[in-house]
Structure 1
Amino acid sequence: MSKKTPQTRAVTMQDVARHAGVSRTAVSLVLNDRFDVTLASDTRERVMSSATELGYRPNAGARALAQQRSDWYGLVTEIVTAPFAVDVIKGAQDRAMTDDKYLLIASTESDPAAETTAIERLLEQRVEGLIYAATWHRGVSVPDIASEVPTVLVNCFDRDGRFPSVVPDERAGGYRATARLLRAGHRRIGFINLDPGIPAAIGRRQGYLAALADAGIPADEQWQVTGHATADSGFAAAEVLLDLADPPSAIFCANDRMAMGAYDAIKERGLRIPDDIAVIGFDNQELIAGYLRPALTTVALPFEQMGARGVDILAAITAGEPTVTKRVTVDCPLLERSSV
């Protein structure tokens, strides 16, 4: 029988004290960065040297319990493997690390019971605050337990108005896409929108209409059709626009999936993009926008920036700074490719 190797015992403060020839209290003061108590510099040096030599690691759980803070933020999201969720996590983590903070991440799979459990587990780890992130922009109901610590919503907003939120500026994005087509000389601009009622559909249409109004172009209802966020619905909606007696010379699609469908409808008519008709999308789903031919000019959702801004607000709240704005919008940039 093979001999079982015993697990290495964790190095304790008492071990460091014995090695450095000082009291355990002195070790605690040094390793917890307590400078309000006077200690000789050589004592501090001996403690730090001994801790390094022995491989001492602080007990984060015990320290968090003692200090009632952990240097951790919790991030709760529906699906951590979604491409956009990864960008939110990156933005939040990069910003948190500038303040020596880190993220504990919990996936809830859109299950309300799992949300409450995830938040409870994060609170048990003494997180200093929570980021609650959604994979698509909408109003949400956040579990009451989130009120126990500062909480900021990202890519969603609290229906009850309890928590500050960071959301994309949908209207500005819709305006920017339409203005780009206007600058290219188009005056007949079709719009394939998302299902009505959701914030993205409302804001992107408002931007589209505002850009036309600023250019002195009447908004023609027949140039505005509704899709359902899929490539198939984009194809069908583009067919409706192309069948008009006076079809548009450009189409603004409220997401990249519908733009992909519009590409197929346009090409089936023997038309060329962008020579015969221009197309702009929204979202910047890179596996679509970057690989369509020609590559799709689109408006990007600023997930990474929203994650970072959420941590900015969370850091301010945990530092005791007042927050005036309940809902912060982040700009949606235009990414030029080859479809206009």
Structure 2
Amino acid sequence: MKLLKPTMMDVAAKAGVSQATVSLILNGSPGARFSEDTRLKVREAAQALGYRLTQRGPVQMTSAANLIVFVVDELTSDPWMALAFEGARERALERGVSMSLAVCRNANVIDDDLVRQYSQIPVVGFIYGTMLTREISSQAVFPQAPTVLLNCYDAKRRLPSVMPGDLEGGRTATQQLIDSGRKRIGFINGQEGIDASSDRLRGYRQALASNDISFDPALVYNGTWEPPSGYDGTRAFLALDTPPDAIFCANDMMAAGCYDALKEAGLRIPQDMAVIGFDNREIAQFMRPPLTSLILPHYEMGVAAADQILDIAAGLTPRHNQIKVECELIERESI
């Protein structure tokens, strides 16, 4: 009987990380941010299973295409799409392919002007990225070349997509607070109806259930992603008959408002109240105390999206229609 070779999925399962994390670590992707503990777990799992990485070289294609077009639905002061583009561009350059950036004026339908512009140019494929994690219209695709979706998805899974692991991130954040000895955990979420908010809330609830902690709706506050809602949510929690002993904020900006409310109330972080954020913005390391947070892995998502496009161009069929990239925990002094 012929033994099956171990796969990257096997390594991911043994190391307890995502397949994208295994790919990024074993490929030595520049800029990929993982702790030494995560890197060691992946390498040890690969060695124990006898997994050998198939090294990707320059893309061999029959056409003259040498360009990936990275299309975004909008550009803002937030760094996320810039990080995703940089990750994708670095990976493409490693494999001898260039990348250009285009902005779509309509968030739900690809501009006819963009379609016309690139219909005359041989391209390897398109990466279509959205600022908000969301479902996209089936019209938001390019007909003439492969398309990989980044931070968005087609509900019918007709196109491969790369997404942040928001649900697992919400579970990780909540579990971290539970492991630090906290039993009553408040959750300041983002706006209702947004995928990231829904997934992080589901992760929060799953962690509570796994530890036999009852879900209390009074401990969930729906914010706006901005500092004032972190402040208001914290004040609402402190006004409860039984306030929480920890607060999970669904992004670092709301955590900044949470800090202000706690300090105004004379409470110490983490002695009186543990706080954890999400996104790992630059501000997190400069808060006092420095904020424990989870990385929103857009750089790594860009790398994974570029790999998907380049593999398709080389004639490989993606093994998975949707890749979820791990939101790594960065431990600091707030819990």
Normalising TM by the smaller chain, what interval? 0.7 to 0.9
Q: Is 1:294 aligned to 2:298, yes or no?
A: no
Q: Is the 8 A contact 2:110 2:140 kept in 1?
A: no
1:119 positional shift = 4.1
Are 2:253 and 1:257 equivalent residues in the alignment? yes
Deviation at 1:81, TM superposition (A): 6.0
Match in the other structure for 2:67: 72
Counterpart of 1:85 in structure 2 is 81
TM superposition shift of 1:157: 0.9
TM-score w.r.t. the length of structure 1 is 0.76
Partner of 1:244: 240
Q: Which residue of 1 aligns with 2:54?
A: none
* Contact 2:108/2:140 (8 A) holds in 1: no
Q: What is the identity, as a one-letter code, of the residue corresponding to 1:276?
A: D
Larger helix fraction of residues: 1
Residue of structure 1 in register with 2:122 after alignment: 126
Segments of 5+ residues of structure 2 without an aligned counterpart are 1-61
Deviations 1:240-292 (A, max 9, x none): 11111110110001111111111111111011111111111111121x31222
> Which digits, 9 at most, give the CA deviation of each residue in 1:194-214, with x for residues without a partner?
122221111111111111111
Q: Which runs of 5+ in 1 are unaligned?
A: 1-66
Following TM superposition, by how much is the alpha carbon of 1:189 offset from its aligned partner in structure 2, in angstroms?
0.6
| Structure number with larger C-alpha Rg | 1
1:310 partnered with 2:286: no
The equivalences for 1:276-295 within 5 A come to 276-286=272-282, 288-295=283-290
Higher RCO, 1 vs 2 (CA within 8 Å, ≥6 residues apart): 2
Work out whether 1:194 is the aligned partner of 2:190.
yes
* CA distance in 2: counterparts of 1:89 and 1:145, whole angstroms: 18
The one-character-per-residue Cα deviations of 1:141-199 (angstroms, maximum 9, x if unpaired) are: 25466021000011111245331110011111001101111111101111111122221
Percent of aligned positions that are identical: 38
1:205 partner amino acid: L
Partner of 2:294: helix, strand, or coil? strand
Question: For residue 331 of structure 2, what is the aligned residue in structure 1?
Answer: 336
Shift in Å, 1:295: 1.5
Once the two structures are TM-superposed, the CA of residue 111 in structure 1 deviates from its matched residue by 5.1
Aligned to 2:200: 204
Tell me which stretches of 4 or more aligned residues in structure 1 moved more than 3 Å. 109-116, 142-145
Q: Normalization by structure 2: what TM-score?
A: 0.77
1:319 lines up with 2:314 in the alignment? yes
Out of 72, 94, 97, which is 2:93 matched to? 97
Give the equivalent residue in structure 2 for 1:54. Answer: none
Secondary structure of the structure 1 residue equivalent to 2:142 = helix
Q: Which deviates more, 153-162 or 227-236? A: 153-162
Q: Provide the C-alpha distance between the structure 2 equivalents of 1:322 and 1:302, rounded to a whole number of angstroms.
A: 24
Partner of 1:117: 113
